[in-house]
Chains A and B, each alone.
Chain A
Amino acid sequence: MEVKYQKSVGLTDTPLTYCPGCGHGIVHKLVAESLVELGLLDKAIAIASVGCSVFSYQFFNCDAQQAPHGRACAEATGIKRVLPNNIVFTYQGDGDLASIGIAETIHAANRGENITVIFINNAIYGMTGGQMAPTSLIGQKTTTSQDGRVQALHGSPIHISEMFATIEGVAYMERVSVYDPKHVIQAKKAIKKAFQYQEEKRGFTMVEVVSSCPVNWGMKPTDAMNWVKTNMIEEFPLGIFKDKGDQNA
């Protein structure tokens, strides 16, 4: 029988721990497929962060390190500087990257560290049970903003892609989403390009994925994907914010 579809060899056989309808599972698959298709898997080192994806070191079928909360880009820097010919990537949530780890991420980008960051923006702290994230939308109810996020109290959702596009060391910055098949295909293109650029030693690459957390948003998986499409994309428009490859071409 002809095999039409199978699990990527870039993923291990360990069952994923993600909830149904969660974007994490989709993005794992895209990262794994990209590494395999580019022939980079056997020299890749994944950095798992702290959040729902903390076990990603068990899922990506390559070497891995598990970083303290927010420190993934520092750890990746440490590795990449001593192993400049390997592929080093981090996989981080919005609490991990945009809150506690913002300094590590900005400075890694500013140094132009030749690493790839996969940034999952689901507008909430998933693992700890639905607290407000720096990317939570105005009005969004979370367990620590029970009347909704208020700009005067909590500030506005932070725009990582727009911000990082201003940093000289960034070679590639794209914001994608995974709420429907068309966007999943686009997300894969972006992730693949980011790894390709790393292989070509162009500098810091990041792909922000606007994703879902049906469980902590209190929605059915389909409603969550709809909420991404209708509410999140308005706040976090998709697109390429920086592409040094293009400028150089």
Chain B
Amino acid sequence: MAKILMKGNEAIALAAIKGGVDAFYGYPITPQNEVPEYLSKHLIANGKVFLQAESEVSAINMVYGAAGAGARVMTSSSSPGIALKQEGISYIAAAELPCVIVSVMRGGPGLGGIQPSQADYYQATRGGGNGDYQLICYAPESIQETIDTMKGAFDTADFYRNPVLVLVDGLIGQMMESVDFDRPVKQRILLEKSWATNGTKNHPGSRNIANSLHLDPVKLEEHNIHLQKKYKLIKQNETQVEMIHMDDPDYVIVAYGTMARICRSAISMLNEKGIKVGMIRPITIWPFPEQAFDQIPSTCKGILCCELSMGQMLDDVLIANNGRHKVGFFGRSGGMVPDPEEIVDAIVNFKDKVVK
């Protein structure tokens, strides 16, 4: 397939189909509506399942059911809707079921606004659901990267029996870019879903159960230790980061998603001014690419964390930096998207931006 011009949300939907989605359950919310709209047409036409649920709470529990039954299943939503899904997400992670969740962030808190934002970094990486669980969380910066991520997301979820969250902001969802759907995805060896609750006639002699209840504290702790082992493996194998101009930089920017793209322009402008700026661009935000920070030379004058929020990834940057360099923060929020010049200013006046 040649390159085609496509809107971000529709590209997410088509990439999900290419990735093998069997079923979609969701509830309308701006700015992700084109995802279910596209899927409603194309899934049903191909004999797959599309269902508009009565709420996000219901949608995520439909995902739980279908995932347990062995289907490749997804939902998509935006900030307040993802907030409602947290209970179900915790259950799905606890029951070790695979699914894909797309989160197209808008401004918050509360009903907030509908313009692009990155204020749900905590929601994605810390979660609002109860208990010690993690989602494998991708934060692509372009429609192309979102497509590549979505195409592989179902395999990744199946491989680890864990929910995958694809986190983009409203700008990626709404803009159009020229994209290619034929780029290769990582090949994984996937096992049969012998655990699926699809009736004992499909697996005589054993009963399959999707469950998160362990009333015996010994059993529950064992389960948690088992989950942590899996999360450790994911950290080792799935952490993704792009390192940009990291040879002897004066400053290092850390940014993901749309903010990373704005920072790319800012970095070119800064280079023209003779200020060498590199960038650490996390592609997975959980697991967070902590080791990338070891490559920052000791001569670096500071790290600037840039976000479309009031400072959430900043926590991870501070942890990864571990006191080695000065850390500054630049953020806009509420749907305000900065010009590259604002980032240039923030680097030039770095001392005013230092938080630690």
Contacts and interface: CB of A to CB of B under 8 A. Distances in A.
Interface of A: 12, 41-45, 47, 54-55, 57-58, 61-68, 71, 74-83, 86-87, 103-104, 107
Given A43-B199, A71-B58, A86-B199, A65 B68 contact: yes
Contacts, number: 130
Interface in B64-96: 64-71, 73, 87-88, 91, 95
Contacts of A44: 199
A82 B91 contact: no
14 contacts: A42-B201, A43-B201, A62-B199, A63-B200, A71-B57, A74-B62, A75-B68, A78-B67, A79-B69, A81-B66, A83-B199, A86-B199, A104-B61, A107-B53
A45 B207 contact: no
A77 B209 contact: no
Nearest to B92: A68
B58 A82 contact: no
Contact of B51 (A41, A66, A67, A77): A77
B59 to A, nearest CB: 8
Given A45-B69, A63-B198, A81 B62 contact: yes
B199 A75 contact: no
A65 B88 contact: no
A45 B66 contact: no
A82 B66 contact: yes
Contacts of B212: 66
Contact of B210 (A66, A87, A104): A66
Given A63-B207, A66-B213, A78 B55 contact: no
Contacts of B95: 65-66
Interface in B196-232: 197-201, 204, 207-213
B102 interface: no
A41 B199 CA distance: 8
Contact of B54 (A42, A67, A104): A104
A43 B200 CA distance: 6
Contacts of A58: 209
Contacts of B198: 45, 63, 83, 86
A78 to B, nearest CB: 3
A47 B199 CA distance: 13
A61 B207 contact: yes
Contacts of B71: 82
Contacts of A67: 61, 64-65
Contact of A77 (B62, B87, B208, B211): B62
Given A65-B64, A67-B61, A45 B197 contact: yes
B154 interface: no
A67 B54 CA distance: 17
A58 B73 CA distance: 26
Nearest to A111: B51
A71 B61 contact: yes
A222 to B, nearest CB: 30
